Each structure stands twice: as C-alpha cells, then as structure tokens.
Amino acid sequence: MSGGKKKTVVCIEDDHEIIDLLRLVLQDDNLNVVGALGGLVGLETVRQLHPDLVLLDLMMPDVHGWEVYRRMKADEQLRTIPVIVVTALASRAERTFGLHVAKVDDYITKPFTPAELRRSVSNVLAADEAPAAQ
C-alpha cells in the first residue's frame, strides 16, 4: 500500500487472538487496526470511528455478523463503509450469499494466508478510493 494518511480498519471479532493476528498481518500496510470484541462493541466502534474498512467475523455470541452487517447497511452514516467478511463459515452457499446476495466487498475464510488477507484489504481499499462510475 502507498504511504500517506493511515487508514483505519475495525476488526469485529469475538476472539482477541484473531484480532492480534489481523493487526500483526496488516501492521506494515500503513493501517491503524482497531479491534472490537463482539458485534455490539463492533457496531459502536464503527459508529465512533467511521473507519475506512471493517473486517467482520460472522459467528459471534452476542450479535451474529450478518446482523451487524444489516445494521451497518441500514444506517445512512455507515452504509458506504466497505466490509470484508473473515469467517470460518466456508461453505459455497454461505460464500455465495455473502458476495452475491448481501454484497459484501470480499469474503475470506479461516484459515487464511497473510498474503490473501493483505491482497483483499488492499484491493477493497483501492476500489473504495476509485471514483464511482456513473
């Protein structure tokens, strides 16, 4: 990723070790990775920080990731924030739903490689910076 202003990424996850892993993988990409444990804390963190990107786990005990995503898309202030799902739900049906029905920006299954995560984050952030075709 290029230099310049640090972009903020909020990682909504129920496992602090995964948050630490995501932070470690992305630390050299000029990104400020903020962890949020659970869906409710995640939504509040997104509302406060209005990040450049959200990394969203699906299976969380308090609020399921799809509900977090639905609430973000229903909120006029949050709906344009790109979301990459990072989950252990690896079925073709779940992935197809995420990408083609819910229309998340990307869908990464655990376990993932650092290169896969970095490539996805880079691509989504670059696409978000590109002027909208109208």
Percent of the chain with pLDDT over 70: 94
The CA-based dihedral angle spanning residues 52, 80, 98, 23, taken in that order and rounded to the nearest 10 degrees: 10
pLDDT-based confidence at 128, cuts 50/70/90? confident
Q: How far apart are the C-alpha atoms of 103 and 120, rounded to whole Å?
A: 15
Q: Where are the beta strands (DSSP E) in 1-134?
A: 7-13, 31-37, 53-56, 83-87, 106-109
- What local confidence, expressed as pLDDT, does residue 31 receive? 95
Q: What single letter denotes the amino acid at residue 78?
A: L
Residue 118's contacts (CB-CB under 8 Å, 6 or more residues apart) are 25, 26, 29
For the chain, give every domain's residue range.
Answer: 7-126
A 10 A CB-CB count for 15 gives: 14
Give the separation between CA 9 and CA 35, rounded to whole angstroms: 9
Superfamily of domain 7-126: Response regulator (3.40.50.2300)
99-111: per-residue pLDDT in tens? 999 999 999 999 9
Rounded (10°) CA dihedral 89, 18, 11, 122? -80
- On whether the pTM is more than 0.75, the answer is yes
Here the tokens at position 47 are: 């509302």
